[in-house]
Amino acid sequence: MRKKEIPIIAGVSNRHVHLSREDVEILFGKDYQLTPIKDLGQPGQFACKETVIIVGPKGAIENVRVLGPERKETQVEISLTDAFKLGIMPPVRDSGDLEGTPGIVIVGPKGSVIKEKGVIIAKRHIHMHTTDAEKFGVKDKDIVKVVVEKGDRRLIFDDVLIRVSEKFALEFHVDTDEANAAMLKTGDVVYIVEEL
């Protein structure tokens, strides 16, 4: 059933925030620099010491991790479980595609921002380097199926977006709802499968 016997490592993304320079300064103070504490699976990406509170019409979620580096636009990535708690209904989107997404209030230690847009549920995807794409025989923005073969909740994710770049490392990204539905943990192995 596997398309290629090439294992792909899974990375489970908990809710997190990418911040613009402007929002870093509002939330944490003028000229503030984010503090990296852990490298992530993708080269150059890191988790920061800093956390914020995100607030919607129905609730708030504390201790939401800030990821670096800073981005041009602030982006908040949550699970559908989180969305129910906050009382907003973001679309399933690829990172950076923020047009028409709902807003949110972000509260930091030095200030707060009211974002008019920027909240998404991240579309599950596989980051891969150009050389990986050649091995798999896929290209950027292809859609593939991914199988979780082990554990008590085996399943096949359809609608998995391929993202190819020379800056990417091979990694399958899902959010916590998706990981929990499949009993999948960061570091577990998944495979691309043939068309059904």
- Asked if residue 110 binds a copy of itself (CB under 8 A), the reply is no
Strands 104-107 and 112-115: antiparallel
Q: Cis link prior to 69 (omega < 30° from 0)?
A: yes
Site string for a copy of itself, 133-172 (x = CB under 8 A): -------------------xxxxxxxx-------------
Site string for a copy of itself, 56-85 (x = CB under 8 A): -----------------------xxx----
Q: Check: CB of residue 132 under 8 Å from CB of residue 170.
A: yes
**Min dist. Cβ of residue 27 to a copy of itself (A):** 26
Query: Based on CB atoms, which residue is closest to a copy of itself, 21 or 154?
Result: 154
Query: Based on CB atoms, which residue is closest to a copy of itself, 152 or 166?
Result: 152
Site for a copy of itself in 121-140 (CB under 8 A): 123-124
Q: Check: CB of residue 80 under 8 Å from CB of residue 177.
A: yes
Query: CA distances (Å), 33 to each of 3, 23, 149, in order?
Result: 44, 12, 42
**Min dist. Cβ of residue 152 to a copy of itself (A):** 4
DSSP letters, 87-145, are T----EE-TT--TT---EEEE-SS-EEEESS-EEEEPPEEEE-HHHHHHHT--TT-EEE
- Decide: helix, strand or coil at residue 13: strand
**Min dist. Cβ of residue 149 to a copy of itself (A):** 9
| Residues at the contact surface with a copy of itself, assessed by CB under 8 A | 1, 79-81, 91-92, 123-124, 152-159, 174, 176-178, 180-183, 193, 196
